[in-house]
Amino acid sequence: MPTGFRKDFRTVAIIGGGPAGSATAIALLRALQSSHRPVTGERFNVRIYADPPKGTFRVGESLPPAASGVLRALGLEHVTGPQAPHLACAGTSSLWGNNEPGHNDFMLDTMGQGYHLDREFFDVQLLSEALKAGAELFQDWHLVGAQELYDGAALDFRTGKGERHTVHADFVVDASGHASAFARRIGVARNTLDEVLFLCAFADIPPGDSMTGRTMVEAVSDGWWYAARLPGNKAILTFCTDRQTARQRGYKEPDHWLGALGRTRWLRHQLPPTFTETAATLHMRAAPSTLLSAVTGSSWLAVGDAASSFDPVSSAGITKALIAATKAGPAIASWLAEGHRKNLHAYADHVLRDFADYARVRAELYSSERRFRDQGFWLRRLGLDGQVKVGVHNRRSTGTAASPPSIS
């Protein structure tokens, strides 16, 4: 019999201990506690199977003011409080669609403060909040196989010690980021709208050097640059381009990357000189815009990047994951404890609508930069390069079919 199968408990297995997995555990445990009409009187295990990336830096550090509201809703406002290491961010300055920088001040935002996170620390904070709420952690358990069953799913894991375990779960939450580790293993198609490439470098800001706490963005002919001050007197500088442009121009080579930085009009003047000294180490990350063909099934749902992933130009990935978690948790609870599926359907509608809104805003944003509209990078973002934009990567679709909106 698979391990983890106890008749007096029903098990919810959450795959992934990132923001989506931790926040869903918190929202689910709270909803189960406040569930007034249990059909079965059963008790629940909420287990997080986490296999965080090791020996590499974590990207995704900008938290817009909109996140403050959802952190409050989850009872987690203290994670960005004065005791936490994260840096307040006053807003964004960007050279986008214009030769002069424009400014967006977060001070005027009614939702609250924006932040530049210590991302690794933030993820650990959320995970420890999930454990405090009652979740169990299976650290370094990596999902390697999955099968849907009439009463849940059988999950195969490989542990950090090289052991193999098969576990029965009554309900599975796929929170494994854009790996969509569970959904893809049961054959759910993942639709790709677009993919950009991030070439990032980190720098120390030595005492005496200054750098604004605002996020800085500059659009250029081959993509756009992004710079942010990070906690611990560090900073990140990123060139967002795409694979075709990176290949043509050799941007994966630090010299060419630096050459492109040297051609920025404004950004290069805003950076401490140490940036150019540390640029020998370039980190590469793909950032696809994707949507699963189905985000819920008979005994599973996908949340966060596992369900849909956004271009970081939106700065919305973490916020989107947290908001979805506040809806996913109660939806799972009402299905498991009360036998209602309608909240799972409402959750799926939310993810699809959210992706449609994102695709529209993304298209507006990229088309608002008209100075480089004849360049390959910008044409490809708008689907005007003659290539088909939407790819489907998998064997079959299950559940509610949904096509991502096309960009006009």
Ligand X SMILES: Cc1cc2nc3c(=O)[nH]c(=O)nc-3n(C[C@H](O)[C@H](O)[C@H](O)COP(=O)(O)OP(=O)(O)OC[C@H]3O[C@@H](n4cnc5c(N)ncnc54)[C@H](O)[C@@H]3O)c2cc1C
Binding residues (CB under 6 A) for ligand X: these are 15-21, 49, 51-53, 59-62, 142-143, 175-177, 179, 181, 198, 285, 287, 304-306, 312, 315-319, 321
In the complex with ligand X, the residue whose CB is nearer, 224 or 337, is: 224
Kindly state the smallest distance separating residue 151's Cβ from ligand X, in Å.
Answer: 22
- Is residue 71 within 8 A of residue 325, CB to CB? The reply is no
Measured CA to CA, the distance from residue 52 to residue 263 in angstroms comes to 37
Kindly state the smallest distance separating residue 306's Cβ from ligand X, in Å.
Answer: 6
AA letter at 42:
E
Measured CA to CA, the distance from residue 250 to residue 76 in angstroms comes to 43
In the complex with ligand X, the residue whose CB is nearer, 173 or 344, is: 173
Measured CA to CA, the distance from residue 270 to residue 95 in angstroms comes to 12
Kindly state the smallest distance separating residue 28's Cβ from ligand X, in Å.
Answer: 15
In the complex with ligand X, the residue whose CB is nearer, 76 or 337, is: 76
Take residue 365 and report the two structure tokens written for it: 């944003």
- Is residue 220 within 8 A of residue 264, CB to CB? The reply is yes
In the complex with ligand X, the residue whose CB is nearer, 121 or 371, is: 121
- Is residue 243 within 8 A of residue 197, CB to CB? The reply is yes
Kindly state the smallest distance separating residue 155's Cβ from ligand X, in Å.
Answer: 9
Kindly state the smallest distance separating residue 262's Cβ from ligand X, in Å.
Answer: 22
In the complex with ligand X, the residue whose CB is nearer, 198 or 378, is: 198
Burial of 151 (0-12, 13-18, 19+ CB in 10 A): exposed
In the complex with ligand X, the residue whose CB is nearer, 157 or 378, is: 157
Backbone angles phi, psi at 319, to 5 degrees: -60, -45
Measured CA to CA, the distance from residue 332 to residue 173 in angstroms comes to 9
Measured CA to CA, the distance from residue 404 to residue 234 in angstroms comes to 37
Take residue 111 and report the two structure tokens written for it: 């939702």
- Is residue 130 within 8 A of residue 22, CB to CB? The reply is yes
Among all chains, which residue has been given the structure tokens 């079965």? Answer: 40
Measured CA to CA, the distance from residue 45 to residue 66 in angstroms comes to 31
Take residue 22 and report the two structure tokens written for it: 């931790």
Kindly state the smallest distance separating residue 124's Cβ from ligand X, in Å.
Answer: 11
Q: Which residue from 407, 400, 20, 393 is spatially nearest to 184, judged by alpha carbons?
A: 393
In the complex with ligand X, the residue whose CB is nearer, 285 or 371, is: 285
Kindly state the smallest distance separating residue 175's Cβ from ligand X, in Å.
Answer: 5
In the complex with ligand X, the residue whose CB is nearer, 307 or 336, is: 307
Kindly state the smallest distance separating residue 332's Cβ from ligand X, in Å.
Answer: 16
